[in-house]
Amino acid sequence: MRSLAGATLAAITVLAAPAAGAQERVLVDESFSAGTLPAGWTSVLGDWKVSGGRLQATTTSARARIAFGPAAPSDFRVEATVRFVAVADPARWLNVGVDYHAADDYGAVLVARSNTVATNGLELAQAAAKGGAYASSPVGPAPVAIGTGADHRLAIEVHGTQLAVTLDGKPALSATNLRRTGGAFGFVINNSTVQFDDVKVVELAAQPLAPTAPRDVKLSEVADTATITWTAPAQGTISHYEVAAGDGAWQRVDALSHTFTGLPESEQVLRVRAVGGDGLAGPAASVRTMRGAVTVGGYKLQVSGGAWPSGHVQGIAVDPAKRFIYYSFTNLLVKTDFAGNVVGTVGGFTGHLGDLDFDPADGRVYGSLEYKAAKAFYIAIFDVDQIDRVGMSAQSSPIVSTVHLAEVVDDFTADLDGNGVFDGDTANTPDHRYGSSGIDGVAFGPTFGTTGGPQRLTVAYGVYANTSRADNDHQVLLQYDTAGWKRFERPLVESAPHREGPAAPDGKFFVFTGNTTYGVQTLEYDPWLARWFLGVYTGTKPQYPNYGLFAVDATSPPVLSVLRGLSGEQGRLLPLAADGLLDAATGIRGWRQKADVGIQALGDGLYYLATNGTDGGNQTATLTLQAWTGKADDPFAPVTKDHVLPHTAPATVRATVPSVLSLTLDGPATFTPFTPGVERDYTAGTVATVTSSAGDARLSVVDPGHLVNGPFSLASPLVVELARATWAAPVSNDRVAVTFKQHVGADDPLRAGEYTRTVTLTLATTTP
């Protein structure tokens, strides 16, 4: 038995105290004094042994783990003296399993790093099933650094789904999201040598727990009135609810809704919490009003997309009509209102959900979705009107449909070195045509070279960063007409990827920017500037300027050109816009501007630009309202409340057009001389010039009859042919060929002299 001088288990202030007189039951109390692994301690992986009166293991790679104790009860405290003897680096960790299945390596573990005071020094990591990925939330620093070579007392107290951690008696981490799966206890270590001693598990008396927070809080506003609705908490017995505006007093509510009236002309935080039968109030859920918020053009100066145990934000989309914002967090789609209140989420993606855009034509959100191991690349299409609560699933759901992009697969899997081997998701290979790593940026906009007409979905390739090859210096953009995509759409079933989709894009285009890191991350079309914006992670090739943002002028048509670095291959090349900084050596233009996790054009020169961050180990997204400056060194500037939007005023300009039907001829038509006794067809012609301001026009010929010479006429009639005879719209100076044909037989008598005939052409209209 080893004791830790001066270390005691402090009271855990975030949980209610045990009931007076409650009995505790010791489940495990082990000091490893016998010198061998105690009964009931099972080594699953690694060299677990008792050495010097301590449990010890060493691993340089795999996760060594050991199981002990019974199934974790609802309420317990587990504590141990821990010591890192040696670590590969300060980020190495030990885990204490608190509801853990060691044999199959899933459940819940408390992760403690050697550098415990780092921002991720402590984590609650959980995996729902065998083979599942661990997700960490919450995450945070500890008040004490465990380091190496010293003993520290680590204690974890659990009541139901609530957990509190102390380190050397100091509160270190708390959570309310512990997932209970019927697991037991265990230790896990990674790339280190770790010792454990004085392990104790005590079952605690059940404690009254406050309800968790109300869910799915929704807000509607009219003038100074705001109504919030919610659904019951996931856990807890509810007596009633309480609501409050701002820091105001709590008011009792016995329903699942409440209307606030007479709200001041200032942004308000409206809160609601549940109160249990024992009078304990749970944590509050809240929404924020738009009323009183500082806005420009109807948009807040800054909006938060929340904090989520997910990947980082990868793209945004805005529905200006219904006033919703959508965020991609790589494995999670989040929907908020314009105030930043969460409306719902769609999760369950194991692939990579990338950039987003909203299609006003069908009211759905489109996003790139990659499954590289399965060689499957999709456009995910979200029926966003159905997203109305947190925790909705993308799998086999009517909310999400997918369309497969075969062109992307062909380029991603291209065996360029001809060795018959697909090298997989790696940049360090000559494979992957154009360096393709899949897809990321997506945006709706016009066909390249135009600013109007039908909207196309443009999909941008990801491109691996590889400085040793020269064929990966272009951004690759595919354009699709999505009007007929319903026939391709299939539900998302990750276990059985489908291949339904267009065989080829409607256009494939290239932009020379120099190599970037994973290509175009965010793509956006701005009709106000007539620009396509391409946000990238900057490249690393030293011969290029490695800008973070590029632009393509929508009016510049693509030109079939030889593509640099591609051995003479030709492609439709889009020139970079004449904006931003100019790199004289390469001719590449762009900006040193962060736009790689979200850019959304809002009209009138306004944009939301996203930045990513973390909060307690969760990923965050913050949108900042920016205005276009056009400056080469700083193209956007944060909008202030005094920002003045550009204003438009109608200017009426009039002109009149008289009714015109004009027909003129260049002159007479003259045949070559007729030869008697020789059968022949002769041709002559003139040109009629037609001008008409009518809605339609028709050119006609009266029966021309026969050419005559005094009393003599030719045997065959004159034939008149018009190159064009009808117009369905006004026309000016349209030149129309008029052809005359004359047949002369070998036996036709011809009188010397001139044969003539006056032919009448008539230009008329039915809609003058």
Note the Cα 195 to chain centre separation in Å.
45
Beta-sheet pairing, 392-393 with 342-347: parallel
Residue 332 has pLDDT above 60, yes or no: yes
Amino acid letter, 692: S
Q: What is the residue extent of each domain of the chain?
A: 25-203, 215-288, 295-638, 661-764
Q: What is the mean pLDDT of the chain?
A: 93
> For residue 183, what are the CA distances in angstroms to 73, 126, 205?
9, 12, 19
Tokens 């070998």 belong to 746
| Residue 277 pLDDT grade (very low, low, confident, very high; cuts 50, 70, 90) | confident
Contact 743, 716 (CB under 8 A): yes
Residue 716 has pLDDT above 50, yes or no: yes
Higher pLDDT, 414 or 396: 414
Amino acid letter, 695: G
Contact 202, 122 (CB under 8 A): no
| Residue 535 pLDDT grade (very low, low, confident, very high; cuts 50, 70, 90) | very high
Contacts of 631 (CB under 8 A, 6+ apart): none
Q: What 3-state class would DSSP assign to 396? A: coil
Q: How many CB atoms lie within 10 A of CB 170?
A: 12
Fold of 295-638: Methylamine Dehydrogenase; Chain H (2.130.10)
Residues facing residue 197 across a β-bridge: 81
pLDDT tens for 609-625 read 999 998 877 899 999 99
pTM above 0.95, yes or no: no
**129-138, 169-178, 686-695: least confident range:** 129-138
**CATH among 2.40.37.10, 2.60.120.560, 2.170.8.10, 2.60.300.12 for 25-203:** 2.60.120.560
Q: Backbone phi, then psi, for 370, in 5-degree steps?
A: -115, 140
H/E stretch holding 411 reads: helix 406-412
Which ranges in 209-278 belong to alpha helices (H)? Answer: none
| Residue 12 pLDDT grade (very low, low, confident, very high; cuts 50, 70, 90) | very low
Contacts of 248 (CB under 8 A, 6+ apart): none
pLDDT tens for 348-394 read 899 999 999 999 999 999 999 999 999 999 999 999 999 999 999 99
Q: What 3-state class would DSSP assign to 88? A: coil
CATH number for the domain whose boundaries are 215-288: 2.60.40.10
Residues facing residue 242 across a β-bridge: 252, 273
Burial of 681 (0-12, 13-18, 19+ CB in 10 A): exposed
Beta-sheet pairing, 570-573 with 507-512: parallel
pLDDT at 768: 85
Q: Please report the beta strands in 494-616, taking only residues with DSSP state E, as ranges in sequence order.
A: 507-512, 517-526, 531-537, 549-553, 559-562, 570-573, 581-582, 589-590, 599-603, 606-615
pLDDT tens for 14-67 read 333 334 344 789 999 999 999 899 999 999 999 999 999 999 999 987 789 999
Higher pLDDT, 6 or 266: 266
In the structure encoding, which two tokens stand for residue 240, read together? 């009633």
Fold match, 215-288 / 661-764? yes
Contact 404, 371 (CB under 8 A): no
> For residue 119, what are the CA distances in angstroms to 134, 139, 145, 441, 619?
18, 7, 12, 31, 13
Fold of 661-764: Immunoglobulin-like (2.60.40)
Q: CA 697 to CA 736: how far, in whole Å? A: 13
pLDDT at 307: 92
pLDDT at 210: 86
| Residue 647 pLDDT grade (very low, low, confident, very high; cuts 50, 70, 90) | confident
pLDDT tens for 508-519 read 999 999 999 999
pLDDT tens for 571-584 read 999 999 999 999 99
Closest CA to 463 of 565, 348, 553, 360: 565
Q: What is the mean pLDDT of residues 153-160?
A: 96
